[in-house]
């Protein structure tokens, strides 16, 4: 079949679609909504995947997180006084010594980062706001993938002596030093003045990441050497003279029993060199801490990356289900095209007979009706792509769900739409070509 013949058959098919605009639009509705559903569902899935990868970056790769167990309810304390006394007498809580032991004893560990987090306030030039003061060691920034954009990292002297210096997040910089260089300036954190020696890069953190991972807005944190916090602010592991007096007569004073948080540090992040050994090392850390804490399990161990990968698998399954549902709508749209085209063949029997009588071949009739089906499905695909993009944007704005519209998802859905029109247009086209021209011309 030469090009002129194909062009002529296509023009006849296109004219038929234009003549029956309403019917063609109704025929294409299944394709339109099917393509729109595929694009919007895939964009939601892509958005969830990108957000999950960002969450993995926030918690770090191959990390094990150890956090202390702190009692929260006074009623629980009163119900378990004997256990509470046992913990206070036998366990020193999570401490820097635990951090040093894990790094020095267990092989396959790259870094260990202890943290102390204090709720405090910041004052400068009459401005005051609440913030987190985080006592850390330099490995913290490597594990969390933070980079300095201004200033210097803590020196060995500042770390060892617990000097009053700090590195601030980008949010603190924008709030308190918007019109000046923060390096070398003083910032009052709680009851102490700290000298700013560095500013961190801005870290993009979504509200979902904060809720799912229980993380903070790192941009609004103030970072200082951990020994600075322990020496100048608080060290919960210290046994003071006052606590000794309370312990001598606990029945008369319940303050000792209600001392819930006796842990020196609030978080311990262990970075493992090989991901396939992360579960085994976590088990070793658990047994080691239990022995160091005299059999008291006053800590919990989590592997955020494994939890996120499990969540990713759940999201993938959910996306497959959504994609399958959207794909079914495309199939339903294809069936609609086939039904309408079959009905169109019955309505246009006389036209078909006339074309055959004037010299059209069976292949010409087949191509005509195939072109009609493909034109309807392609037009529906184009409208569906536009609708899908608008729908994905609306979901992202109204439902605050991250969406990522990828070019490959648009192409896949568009090609599927064209293929559906081609596949489901074959049966009506063949039926039209099989008509007897004499009977067709006599048809009323």
Segments in the chain below pLDDT 50:
72-81, 83-88, 252-258, 443
Q: Tell me, what's the pLDDT at 53?
A: 66
Tens of pLDDT, residues 417-434:
778 777 777 776 676 667
340: helix, strand or coil? helix
168, 200 contact by CB (below 8 A)? yes
Q: Tell me, what's the pLDDT at 347?
A: 64
193, 120 contact by CB (below 8 A)? no
> CA triplet 71, 77, 80: central angle to 5 degrees?
115
At 224, which helix (H) or strand (E)? Answer: strand 221-225
Q: Tell me, what's the pLDDT at 305?
A: 66
Annotate 1-35 with b (16+ C-beta within 10 A) or e (fewer). eeeeeeeebbebbeebbeebeeebeebbebbbbbb
297, 169 contact by CB (below 8 A)? no
Q: DSSP assignment, residue 298? A: -
Largest CA distance in the chain: 114
β-pair partners for 271: 63, 111
CA dihedral 280, 286, 292, 295 (to 10 degrees): -130
Radius of gyration of the chain (CA): 35
40 vs 405: CA distance, rounded Å:
8
318, 355, 333: which is closest to 437 by C-alpha?
A: 355
Q: DSSP assignment, residue 33? A: H
Q: Tell me, what's the pLDDT at 298?
A: 86
211 vs 47: CA distance, rounded Å:
17
48 vs 401: CA distance, rounded Å:
8
Q: DSSP assignment, residue 145? A: T
370, 417, 357, 336: which is closest to 17 by C-alpha?
A: 370
CA 206 to chain centre: 9
Tens of pLDDT, residues 355-377:
766 677 777 777 777 787 788 88
Q: Tell me, what's the pLDDT at 310?
A: 65
Q: Tell me, what's the pLDDT at 229?
A: 92
Q: Tell me, what's the pLDDT at 258?
A: 47
Q: Tell me, what's the pLDDT at 223?
A: 95
Residue 72 has which token pair?
Answer: 């929260």
382, 331, 419, 315: which is closest to 41 by C-alpha?
A: 315
16, 372 contact by CB (below 8 A)? yes
190 vs 128: CA distance, rounded Å:
10
For residue 31, CA distances in Å to 19, 38, 81, 373, 416 come to 20, 10, 68, 11, 10
75 vs 82: CA distance, rounded Å:
14
* Tokens 């992202």 found at: 396
Residue 12 has which token pair?
Answer: 């006849």
297, 275, 158, 274: which is closest to 285 by C-alpha?
A: 297
């Amino acid at each position: 079949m030469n090009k002129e013949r194909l062009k002529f058959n296509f023009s006849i098919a296109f004219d038929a679609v234009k003549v029956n605009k309403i019917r063609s639009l109704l025929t294409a509705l299944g394709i339109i909504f099917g393509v729109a559903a595929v694009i919007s569902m895939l964009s939601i899935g892509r958005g969830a995947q990108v957000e999950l990868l960002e969450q993995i970056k926030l918690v770090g790769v191959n990390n094990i997180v150890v956090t202390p167990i702190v009692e929260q309810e006074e009623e629980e304390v009163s119900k378990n006084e004997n256990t509470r006394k046992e913990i206070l007498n036998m366990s020193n809580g999570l401490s820097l010594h635990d951090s040093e032991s894990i790094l020095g004893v267990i092989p396959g560990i790259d870094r260990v980062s202890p943290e102390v987090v204090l709720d405090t306030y910041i004052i400068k030039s009459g401005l005051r706001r609440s913030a987190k003061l985080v006592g850390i060691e330099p490995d913290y920034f490597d594990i969390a993938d933070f980079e300095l954009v201004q200033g210097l990292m803590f020196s060995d002297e500042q770390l060892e002596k617990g000097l009053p210096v700090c590195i601030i997040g980008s949010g603190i910089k924008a709030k308190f030093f918007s019109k000046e260089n923060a390096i070398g300036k003083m910032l009052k954190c709680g009851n102490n003045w700290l000298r700013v020696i560095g500013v961190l890069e801005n870290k993009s953190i979504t509200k979902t990441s904060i809720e799912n991972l229980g993380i903070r807005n790192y941009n609004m944190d103030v970072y200082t050497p951990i020994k600075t916090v322990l020496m100048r602010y608080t060290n919960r592991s210290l046994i003071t003279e006052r606590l000794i007096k309370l312990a001598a007569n606990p029945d008369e004073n319940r303050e000792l029993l209600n001392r819930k948080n006796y842990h020196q540090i609030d978080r311990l992040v262990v970075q493992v060199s090989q991901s396939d050994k992360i579960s085994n090392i976590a088990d070793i850390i658990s047994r080691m801490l239990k022995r160091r804490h005299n059999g008291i399990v006053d800590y919990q161990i989590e592997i955020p990356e494994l939890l996120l990968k499990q969540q990713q698998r759940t999201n993938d399954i959910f996306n497959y289900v959504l994609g399958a549902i959207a794909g079914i709508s495309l199939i339903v749209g294809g069936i609609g095209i086939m039904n309408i085209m079959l009905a169109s063949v019955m309505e246009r029997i006389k036209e078909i007979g006339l074309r055959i009588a004037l010299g059209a071949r069976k292949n010409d009739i087949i191509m005509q009706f195939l072109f009609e089906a493909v034109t309807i499905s392609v037009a529906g695909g184009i409208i569906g792509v536009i609708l899908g993009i608008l729908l994905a944007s609306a979901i992202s704005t109204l439902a605050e769900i991250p969406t990522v519209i990828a070019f490959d998802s648009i192409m896949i859905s568009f090609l599927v739409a064209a293929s559906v029109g081609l596949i489901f247009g074959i049966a009506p086209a063949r039926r039209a070509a099989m008509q007897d021209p004499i009977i067709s011309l006599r048809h009323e």
